[in-house]
Chain A
Amino acid sequence: MTIKPSKTQRLPDAELGSLRREDVLQMDAPNRMRWFYLRRFKHAELERVAQDLKELLGEDNETKVISVIGMTGIGKTTLAQSIVESLRAAARADEAHASEVPVIYVRAPADGDRALSWKGLYTRLLKAGNEPFVEMKRATKEVGGVLQLSRERSTLADLRSYLEKMLTHRNVKALVIDEALHLLRFGEYEAIMDTLKSLADIHSTKLFLIGSFDIAELMTQYGQVARRSEIVHYRRYETGKVNPNSLTAHQKEFEAVVAKFQAAWPCREVPNLEAIWHPLMHQSLGSVGLLKVLLLRLASLQMEAKDERFLPAHLKKAFKAKKALAKIEEETTQGEEKLMGACYGDGADLSQEELAGVMPLRKAA
């Protein structure tokens, strides 16, 4: 594809994302920044989480409530959106399922109320499920043995019944609620979880809750819910001290990710990021999501400089303030401690003898 150097109009994401770096370098700064923002790279932790989710989403898997928990900015929403996209693409490949909505994605409402607004959440879910004219719907009630449509506005129970119908008719497989932290404002965790679980029970729908460590308590506290729920912890890479002769697996992976970002750098002059991979890892607390935020800021500063020259001073501006970084690290460490031993794949350890015993018997060659 050939791109004219003078091309300044904003391209759609799908088109922009498919371009090569050489083509993008001929474009203006906003397009290059957007292209860099759209870059997503595979890395070991992301693949592990994706594999865990694939197992939990299986039809034979009885898990009803799945929560994806991770530190701020690690890329949970991006992961959720990619789940939504892949589920949609897989489920609606043919015309026969044109009326189905395999997955619904909403952000939990944060509308300034002190209590959780179930009405707001239900309305959002209905609209995200492509439900037309929600305001025109009327509930049914029995009067003198005859079912009649209510003349009043829809109550919470009515909205719930519309939602149940929608989940069934649209054959919804997964309900993704992002920013699940907002669900906790009400405080009565048990009531919240009972309601959410009953939603998931309606039509073999799996409920995804996405949030930071605050929702870990909600997920682990209640036995009945925990029985059919799993927590998938989207972990950061362990930073640790660097021994140049023997890097840890986490450090090697992070270094590789930095190299991928460097290869996709949106300016002609490319800084040697690989040389500072460890300070970058430390600055982003081992999170690829935070690393990307940092690099976006760095690229933006370089683009604003004369002739788009990279200056070491840009690094100082792009790095997060020490106090802010310490605060994030403290919260993250506390959250990780809460989740220790409570996540998917954190089953009891078996001894070497027991492991040897469980292996299938094989005939000697």
Chain B
Amino acid sequence: MMALSAVQGSAQSSAPGPVTPLYGLLPQDVGLGQIESLPSYLYGLANAHSFPITALIHRVIPTLAKLHEVKSPRALTAWEKSPSSSLAVSPGFALNLAECLVALTGRSEVRRTVLAPALKFVTGQQLQSHALRVCPRCLLDDEERGELPYCRLLWTLRSVTCCSIHGTVLVEAKCGDVKSTKRAFHSSRMRSGGSCGSCGSNAFRCLTVTEVTAGELELWKAHQIAEAVEQWVNLQEESLVRLKRELRIYCAERDGCEQLAVRCGLTKSTLSRWLNLPAARLSLAAMLDLCASEGFTLAKLLVADLTRTTWPAAVAPSRLKRRVVRLDRRRLEAALDEAIAKGKQVGDVAVEEGVNRSSLERIGALYEKLRDQNARERRSKRTLRIKAAVADAETVLRKLMQAGKVPSTRNAGLQTEQVWAVSQARCVALICLRMKLGDVSVSMPNRSIALNPQFQDEVVRAAERLRGELLNYKTVQSGPTTVSTLDAMKGDEVIAA
């Protein structure tokens, strides 16, 4: 153990640096590119400290970051609805959060849990999958090892469609336990990164999808990316410059840049721009196509090693060069006519006909008719959504007040056995209704829907209805704190906003 120095003649001692405010928890990693993703790591951190995840995200991290003068990311407002997508929206934001966690935990390994290091080499375009996908077998393996199941960073990449270890297609993590009564306890449930966000089952046992074996190309891609994930955090940007120089020599020694572009399914201008501009990047899918066509290995390519390997026949570029075909006006007019009759979306027609939207625009009147019809539908849907949200809020507020309870979002959740998060329109409606009824203990939620005139009209109408019914809703303001009470004082005047 440590040497115990006897008390010296001087009172001075070597002071160690400050202790990190959060535990130095390491991200889980079983090797082979299976590092934990940042949302999963946050769940692990919350569990280790016995904090509810929302408390960690909204209170603990921002407060500690402020105290320790660490740059803090802005609030993760959509966390309750979708942890993975809230981080997937912006890799830069995820990196900020990771840097903040590095400072608070003292673990530089947290930087490996985000995709940001990859952005030095590839574009962010279609890099991440917004849907959470998992390999149930990997999660069960985690449990067998006696650890909490965790989500891998690899699974968040759109180009990875299968598990590189088990060779099975990744499954979208949609809860199959539709009748679960545990949903009401969403916010209080103890979760790990590898447990279902809806029913709480560990290792996503609620998934009902059957296992599908991945194809050779999918598996090859998963292996290539897994190898690259292992090393990309240590790569320097200079290696990209070196790679481009090596590739230019490679093209010059063979049949030129144009032929390389043809082989790997890129346009000549894209490849040429990438090779000649030092900061230009290709998408991850394009890099994989380059490897597939030329026999390179992605992990080696990133360090400018152009060693060639013979890949199986199934490994070929998956992105085809865009074809230019003549526009068949009659066919498109017929398709648009049909879409107007059936109420389809413009985007769906474009996909079905294999054209882009600008091609459809050339059809003129029919396109505009369908577009306006789509817009009307969207507006009516939004109106319905707003009405439903306000009606929900009105109903729950009425019930809670009749039961003599404070109409808080927490009580609303308990009353309806559903999640009432501030990111939902009905939750915003509930808060706005309380404000309209004169409750000064709540403030306007920072949500765009709260400023929508139509939404506000609905809230005012609902408040009018409630005012007539609930004369006992009274607000008492006492000193610096404001208390909302329900003291059933019939006949008292309502304090209106």
A interface residues, Cβ below 8 angstroms from B: 13-14, 16-18, 38-42, 46-47, 50-51, 53-54, 57-59, 78-79, 82-83, 85-93, 95, 97-102, 130, 132-133, 136-140, 143-144, 146-149, 151, 158, 161-162, 165, 169-170, 173
Contacts and interface: CB of A to CB of B under 8 A. Distances in A.
A132 B21 contact: yes
A54 B3 contact: yes
A17 B11 contact: yes
Interface in B22-64: 22-25, 48-52, 55, 59-60, 63-64
B410 to A, nearest CB: 9
A92 B10 contact: no
A46 B1 contact: no
Nearest to A136: B55
A136 B4 CA distance: 37
A238 B3 CA distance: 29
Given A89-B16, A130-B21, A140-B190, A53 B52 contact: no
A132 B189 contact: no
Contacts of A79: 7
Interface in B3-17: 3-17
A147 B17 CA distance: 37
B51 A133 contact: yes
Given A93-B16, A99-B106, A137-B49, A146 B182 contact: yes
Contact of B4 (A50, A59, A98, A139): A50
A39 B13 CA distance: 13
A193 to B, nearest CB: 24
Interface of B: 1-17, 19-25, 48-52, 55, 59-60, 63-64, 105-107, 182, 185, 188-190, 199-201
Contact of B50 (A16, A17, A162): A162
Contact of A149 (B12, B63, B189): B189
A130 B2 contact: no
A99 B107 contact: yes
A149 B185 CA distance: 9
10 contacts: A46-B6, A79-B7, A86-B3, A91-B16, A98-B17, A98-B106, A99-B24, A99-B105, A149-B188, A169-B24
A149 to B, nearest CB: 5
Contacts of B1: 57-59, 173
A140 B50 contact: yes
A184 B8 CA distance: 33
A147 B190 contact: yes
Best-buried of A46, A86, A162, A170 by chain B (most CB within 10 Å): A86
Contacts of A17: 10-12
A-B CB proximity, top 4 nearest: A99-B24, A17-B11, A90-B2, A98-B106
B16 A136 contact: no
B182 A40 contact: no
Contact of A78 (B7, B64, B189): B7
A47 B7 CA distance: 8
A89 B2 CA distance: 9
A86 B15 CA distance: 9
Contact of A98 (B13, B24, B188): B24
B16 A146 contact: no
Contact of B60 (A38, A53, A102, A132): A132
B4 A57 contact: yes
B106 to A, nearest CB: 3
B50 A137 contact: yes
Contacts of A130: 19, 21
A99 B21 CA distance: 7
A93 B2 CA distance: 11
Nearest to B49: A137
A89 B13 contact: yes
Contacts of B25: 169
A86 B190 CA distance: 39
B19 A101 contact: yes
B318 to A, nearest CB: 41
B21 A88 contact: no
B7 A148 contact: no
Contacts of A138: 50-52
A28 B89 CA distance: 63
Contacts of B7: 40-42, 46, 50, 78-79, 82
Nearest to B191: A147
B408 to A, nearest CB: 14
B13 A85 contact: yes
A148 B181 CA distance: 14
B28 to A, nearest CB: 15
Contacts of B182: 144, 146
A136 B12 contact: no
A143 B188 CA distance: 11
A90 to B, nearest CB: 3
Nearest to A99: B24
Contacts of A54: 3-4
Nearest to A137: B50
A98 B24 CA distance: 8
A89 B24 contact: no
Nearest to B55: A136
Contacts of A39: 9, 11
A85 B5 CA distance: 9
Contacts of A18: 10, 12
Nearest to A87: B2
B13 A86 contact: yes
Contacts of A59: 1
Given A14-B12, A133-B59, A165-B50, A86 B4 contact: yes
B22 to A, nearest CB: 7
Given A89-B16, A146-B201, A149-B52, A41 B9 contact: yes
A19 B395 CA distance: 74
B473 to A, nearest CB: 26
Contacts of B2: 57, 86-87, 90-91, 102, 173
Contacts of A136: 51, 55, 59-60
Best-buried of B6, B10, B14 by chain A (most CB within 10 Å): B6
Contacts of A143: 185
Contact of A148 (B3, B21, B188): B188
A40 B19 contact: no
A345 to B, nearest CB: 16
A102 B23 CA distance: 13
A188 B148 CA distance: 39
Nearest to A38: B11
B188 A151 contact: yes
B22 A99 contact: yes
Nearest to A59: B1
A132 B6 contact: no
B106 A88 contact: no
